[in-house]
Amino acid sequence: MDLGLADAAVVVSGGTKGMGRAAAACFAAEGARVAVLARTPDVLDETVAELRHLGAADAVALRADLTDRAAVEAAFAEVGERWGELHVLVNAAGPVDVGIARFDDLDDEEWLATFDIGAMSAVRCVRAALPLLRAAAWARIVNVSAHSTKRQSAEIVAYTAAKAAMTSLSKNLSLSLAPEGILVNTVSPGSFLSEGMRGYLRALPPERHADPDSLTDAMRIMVEDFGHPAQLPRAGDPSEIGPVIAFVGSRINTYMTGANINVDGGSDFC
Ligand SMILES: NC(=O)c1ccc[n+]([C@@H]2O[C@H](COP(=O)([O-])OP(=O)(O)OC[C@H]3O[C@@H](n4cnc5c(N)ncnc54)[C@H](OP(=O)(O)O)[C@@H]3O)[C@@H](O)[C@H]2O)c1
């Protein structure tokens, strides 16, 4: 199936690791121009090399911290100078390591930090990207939220609230941008063995027996710590969600907007 992405201009925030990187790889394999936005220079460079190898017509590293408005604006200004248009914006950056605590254990600073990366990061990217999306012949926005917004856990309150804000933003944007033909959708992952998840598993004490490369251990720990089971008895690999994000962000998605798509191994039915 041709996704109609050849030469499309794509920005993936958080595109250097985990699910964002898996999505960036899919766009590259379709011959899109792909910019990945993240903070760590050597990982950015290594990702860009891989994207070129996979078939990206052009691949760019955008180094920016999404909690820094000026840095985000500068990154999209660079995209504007290079491409003058943007067909697809994927907001897939963190959080993965903030806001994971019970209500009694979080202070204002932790709440604000969680919302900064969990919701405001997408606000900043959409604001900076909109003139470029409007300049393109067709445009899509894909926001990566979290299935935990639908299945709450008391152990993970601020993270989940920030992701719920992102989901709400996504729905509202789909409404306001529909008249312009810009389609906005949410993809909600369940538990995925990303770099962020590996970091969580590595930080556990040895008696938890959490192999950071094991999909089944990752799922077991998510059930033990957050009560997040799935029908499939394992976490997902990022390569299993990249194609979903690429399709939702593609030119051949012409009638889906305001949707919130679960990619979660069947968590809704547990
Ligand atoms: N993994 C899961 O089980 C899971 C489940 C539900 C939802 N999610 C959500 O899915 C998305 C992807 O998660 P993931 O686990 O695949 O992520 P990941 O492997 O931890 O990768 C996170 C990416 O975001 C970038 N990033 C983080 N903070 C940033 C910042 N302040 N500024 C710019 N870039 C930043 C990272 O690069 P640098 O560190 O170099 O900046 C990296 O490219 C996240 O929004 C996460 O909340 C994850």
The minimum-distance atom of ligand 1 relative to the CA of 196 is 20
242 lines ligand 1 (CB under 6 A): no
Cβ count within 10 A of residue 29: 18
**Whether pTM exceeds 0.85:** yes
The minimum-distance atom of ligand 1 relative to the CA of 235 is 3
14 lines ligand 1 (CB under 6 A): yes
Ranges of each domain in the chain: 9-190+238-262, 192-235
User: Rounded mean pLDDT of the chain?
Assistant: 96
Q: Residue 97: pLDDT band by 50, 70, 90 thresholds? A: confident
Task: Give residue 6's region: left, alpha or beta (phi > 0; psi -120 to 50).
Answer: beta
Q: Residue 98: pLDDT band by 50, 70, 90 thresholds? A: confident
Q: Note the pLDDT tens digit of each residue in 215-224.
A: 999 999 999 9
> How many distinct helices (H) and strands (E) make up the chain?
9, 7
Distances (CA, A) of 150 to 102, 145, 212, 260: 17, 11, 26, 11
Q: What pLDDT does 270 receive?
A: 63
Residue 66 CA to ligand 1 center (angstroms) comes to 11
98 lines ligand 1 (CB under 6 A): no
Q: Residue 168: pLDDT band by 50, 70, 90 thresholds? A: very high
Q: Note the pLDDT tens digit of each residue in 106-132.
A: 999 999 999 999 999 999 999 999 999
92 lines ligand 1 (CB under 6 A): yes
The CATH code of the domain at 9-190+238-262 is 3.40.50.720
The minimum-distance atom of ligand 1 relative to the CA of 148 is 6
pLDDT at 74 over 90: yes
DSSP 152-189: --TT-HHHHHHHHHHHHHHHHHHHHHGGGTEEEEEEEE
